Amino acid sequence: MNKKLRILVIAGFVILLALLAKLLLSHKFNSVESLQQYMERFGVAAPLFLTVFQAFQVVVPVVPGYLGCAAGAVMFGPAIGFWCNYIGISAGSIIAYFLARRYGIDLVLTMFSEEMYEKWRGRIEKSRSYGLFLFIATLLPLFPDDFLCYFSGLIRMSAKKFIWIIILGKPWCILAYSIVFGLIR
């Protein structure tokens, strides 16, 4: 995939995200209840929408993931919100890994700044165990997880190891977000 096509695909995703955000934001939400009532109109598709949105926001990192975690817990409660967020974020993380593996550093540098890449590359090169570092990073809030998923696809980390780190590391921070934001409900 050449650089122009990648930029076009990314732009298409961003436009789709903007249209979906406009759809949601075109309604006035005075309270958590009004947002929940609005989402209930989508029925079974509402949790599916959140799951797909969370996967998308990892692949095209425009919105911080914790916002989706908050929205999921508030709209659907901590349990359903957790599962939608966990499945979506994990799927998006795995997709990001394989996109980086397939398309290489050019894709990563279209998604993230070269400064960010160099900063983390330098830190990671000094690390004795990138796998342990990645696992700890997935446990902690506000880490650049999306970038690290792409970065992991660039290095010699096996897909099996990466997927296990995501499956075992991702749920804990998402669970904490779900419980905290679920209290707002």
Tokens of 129: 């165990």
Segment 19-59, tens digit of pLDDT = 666 665 666 666 667 767 777 777 888 899 889 889 988 98
| Residue whose C-alpha is closest to residue 169's, from 142, 145, 144, 153 | 145
Average of per-residue pLDDT values in the chain: 84
Residues 59, 61, 64, 65: what is their CA dihedral angle, to the nearest 10 degrees?
0
Where along the chain do its domains lie? 3-182
Question: Token pair 């797909």 is at which residue?
Answer: 52
Per-residue confidence (pLDDT) for residue 28, from 0 to 100: 62
Q: What does the alpha-carbon distance between residue 156 and residue 109 come to, in Å, rounded to a whole number?
A: 18
Determine the pLDDT at residue 8.
Answer: 65
Interatomic CA distance for residues 178 and 176, integer angstroms: 5
Per-residue pLDDT of 95-118, as tens digits, reads: 999 999 999 998 898 888 899 899
Contact 179, 78 (CB under 8 A): yes
Asked whether the beta carbons of 104 and 156 are under 8 A apart, the reply is: no
What is the token pair recorded at 7?
A: 């930029």
Stated as kind and residue range, the H or E segment containing 73 is: helix 65-111
What is the predicted pLDDT for the residue at 93?
96
Average pLDDT over residues 80-98: 95
Instruction: State pLDDT tens for residues 107-164.
Output: 898 888 899 899 888 888 777 889 999 999 999 887 888 999 999 999 989 999 999 9
Query: Which pLDDT score is estimated for 5?
Result: 61
Round to whole Å and give the CA distance between 136 and 140.
7
**Backbone conformation region of residue 113, classed left if phi is above 0, alpha if psi is from -120 to 50, else beta:** beta
Question: Which pLDDT does position 27 carry in this prediction?
Answer: 62
Alpha-carbon distance 171 to 124, whole Å?
A: 23
pTM: 0.81
Q: Is the pLDDT of residue 17 over 80?
A: no
